[in-house]
Amino acid sequence: MTRSIRIIENMLHDLRVRVVNKLRRTSLRQMESFSKGDIYTKISQDTVTISQSAFFLVNIVQALVMVVCCLLYIAWLSPGAFFMTVIGIIIAISIYWGHRQKLVRDMAEMNKKEGEIVEAVCDIVEGYKELYGNQKRNEGVFKHYSGLAEESRTVKVRANDTFILEIMFTQIFFYLLIGAVVFILPEIVPTYSVVVIRVTAAILFIVNPLDIIATTAPLITRANSALKNIYDLDDVLTAPQTDADRPFQAPSQFLNFQEITGHSLQFTYRDAENNPLFTVGPFDLHLMRGETVFFVGGNGCGKTTLMKIICGLYQLNSGELRLDGQRLEQNNYQDYRELFSVIFSDFHLFDRLYGQEEVDPTTVNNWLKKMDIAHKTQFSKGRFTHTDLSTGQRKRLALIVALLDDRPIVMLDEWAADQDPQFRTFFYETLLAEFRAAGKTVLAVSHDDRYWHLADRVVKMEYGQLARNLYGASTSQNETCQ
C-alpha cells in the first residue's frame, strides 16, 4: 500500500514539475491567454484532490483483486451462480456508468467554477484599495463572488446527490444479488443446493470489496477529472513551445553584438477567434550598440508592444531580426533574449536574486545606497530584507536587480514615471550617462519630454507604427514604417 501511494505521489510530483516547467517557458502570448485562477486551481487544488484519492485508488485495486478471485471460486463451484453474479455486476456497472457521465460533467463544471472563484478572490485581494473606499463597487464584487460560490455549491450538492445515490444503489444491489443466489438459484438449478452455502460465503466475501469499489469509485472519478485538467494544461503547453527545449548556455553567443537590424517586423494581437485586435508594424529597425533611444507616443500607440517585440518576448508574425547580419532563428532566440535587462511597468519584484546567487552583497548594498533606498531595505543572506516599498522605491529596486545582471541592453518601459522630480533628474542626467559610459544600449519608453535631448534618438510611435525620429538622426536609415 505505502509503495503504491509512493508511486502515485512520484507520478504526481513529476507531472506537476513538468507542467510548471513548461509554464515558465511558454510564450508570453500564451501566458497572457490563461486565467490565473484556472492555473492556480489546476496546479494546486487538482493535485491535492489526486493525492487525497491515491489511498482510495490503492484500496480499489486490492478490492478488485479480491472480487476477481472470489468470482473465479464461484465459477468453479457453480457456473450458474457465477453467471448470475456476473450479470448482476454488469447491470450494476452499466447503471453506475450512466451516473458516472453525469458525475464527470458535474466535476468539470465544479472545476471551472473553482477557477472563477479563485479569480474573484484575487480581484478582492488585489483590488482591495479600489474596493475599500467604494462600497458600491465592493458590494458588486462581493455579489459576483457570492453568485459564483452559490453556483459552485449547487453543482457540488448535485454531485454529492449522485454520489450518495450510487452508494445506496450498490448496497441494494448486493442484497438483491445475495437474495438471488440463496433463494432463486436453488429453485432453477437442482444440483445447486449442494454448494449454496459455499457460494453464499464467497458472495459475502466480495460484498465488502464491492462496497469499497462502489463507495470510492466516485472519488476516483473526481481524481480522474482533476488529472484530466492537469493533463489538458500539459497538452496545451506543449504546442507553442518555442526554443525552450534547448538548455541555454551562458554567456549569450551574441554578447559582443554591434548592431540589431529588423526588416518588416510585424506583430498582431488576436482574440480567441483569431480576429486581429491591434497590429504593430510592419517596420524596419536599426539599433547600434551603445545607443540611447527613447520611444515616445500617446497611450495605446504600441510602445510596450514594440518593446516586447524588440526584446524577443513576442514572436514576430512576420519579418526578421538580425544581429550583425546573423538572422535570428528558433534555436538562437534565447541567446538574443539574454542580451536584455528589462523592466516593464507591470514588473514583478522577486525578493531574492534568483540566478544571481554569487553576487557580492557589498555591490548590492552600494547600489541600494546609490538609489537612496538603503534606509528602507538591505541585502542580506541572499535576499532583500523588505520589498514592501513605495511604487517608486520598488522600481528603483527592480532597476538594481536588472543592472546586477550586467547585460548589454537596458530596456525600460516608463521607468521614471513614478520617480520624484529629484530622482527623475538623477535617472536621466546621471544614471543614463553612466549606462552610456559603460557601453550599454538603452531603449526606454519615455513621456518626459524635458529630457528627450539626452537621448541619441527619440522615435515617435503612432497607431502601431514607428512614425518618425523626433530628435536625433537614425544611425543608418530612419526606422521606417511600410
Could you list the residues that contact ligand ATP (CB under 6 A)?
32, 269, 277-278, 297, 299-305
Q: Which is nearer to ligand ATP, 29 or 436 (CB)?
A: 29
Q: Which is nearer to ligand ATP, 203 or 296 (CB)?
A: 296
Task: Kindly report the backbone phi and psi dihedral angles of residue 475, in degrees, each rounded to the nearest multiple of 5, phi listed first.
Answer: -65, -25
Q: Which is nearer to ligand ATP, 239 or 277 (CB)?
A: 277
d(CA 280, CA 283): 8
Name the pairing type of β-strands 318-323 and 326-327: antiparallel
Q: Do the beta carbons of residue 102 and residue 162 sit within 8 Å? A: yes
Question: What's the closest the beta carbon of residue 315 comes to ligand ATP, in angstroms?
Answer: 14
Question: What's the closest the beta carbon of residue 305 comes to ligand ATP, in angstroms?
Answer: 3
User: Residue for cell digits 492556480?
Assistant: 40
Long-range contacts of 297-301 (CB under 8 A, 24+ apart): 297/460, 297/461, 297/462, 297/467, 298/462, 301/461, 301/462, 301/463, 301/464
DSSP notation for 97-158? HHHHHHHHHHHHHHHHHHHHHHHHHHHHHHTHHHHHT-HHHHHHHHHHHHHHHHHHHHHHHH
d(CA 445, CA 306): 10
Q: Which is nearer to ligand ATP, 376 or 460 (CB)?
A: 460
Name the pairing type of β-strands 465-471 and 457-462: antiparallel
Question: What's the closest the beta carbon of residue 277 comes to ligand ATP, in angstroms?
Answer: 5
Residues 6+ apart with CB under 8 A from 381: none
Question: What's the closest the beta carbon of residue 112 comes to ligand ATP, in angstroms?
Answer: 22
Question: What's the closest the beta carbon of residue 428 comes to ligand ATP, in angstroms?
Answer: 18
d(CA 219, CA 266): 50
- Residue 270 CA neighbour count, 13 Å, CB half: 12
Question: What's the closest the beta carbon of residue 276 comes to ligand ATP, in angstroms?
Answer: 10
Q: Which is nearer to ligand ATP, 187 or 346 (CB)?
A: 346
Q: Which is nearer to ligand ATP, 292 or 465 (CB)?
A: 465
Q: Which is nearer to ligand ATP, 282 or 297 (CB)?
A: 297
Question: What's the closest the beta carbon of residue 237 comes to ligand ATP, in angstroms?
Answer: 18
Q: Which is nearer to ligand ATP, 55 or 463 (CB)?
A: 463
> Helix, strand, or coil here: 293?
strand
Q: Which is nearer to ligand ATP, 250 or 277 (CB)?
A: 277
Q: Do the beta carbons of residue 481 and residue 283 sit within 8 Å? A: yes
Q: Do the beta carbons of residue 380 and residue 361 sit within 8 Å? A: yes
Question: What's the closest the beta carbon of residue 414 comes to ligand ATP, in angstroms?
Answer: 7
**Residue 352: DSSP 8-state:** B
Question: What's the closest the beta carbon of residue 450 comes to ligand ATP, in angstroms?
Answer: 18
d(CA 465, CA 305): 11
Question: What's the closest the beta carbon of residue 424 comes to ligand ATP, in angstroms?
Answer: 17
To which H or E segment does residue 15 belong? Answer: helix 2-25
Q: Do the beta carbons of residue 395 and residue 419 sit within 8 Å? A: yes
Helices (H), 300-411: 303-310, 333-337, 361-370, 391-404
Question: What's the closest the beta carbon of residue 280 comes to ligand ATP, in angstroms?
Answer: 7
Q: Which is nearer to ligand ATP, 34 or 169 (CB)?
A: 34
Q: Which is nearer to ligand ATP, 42 or 303 (CB)?
A: 303
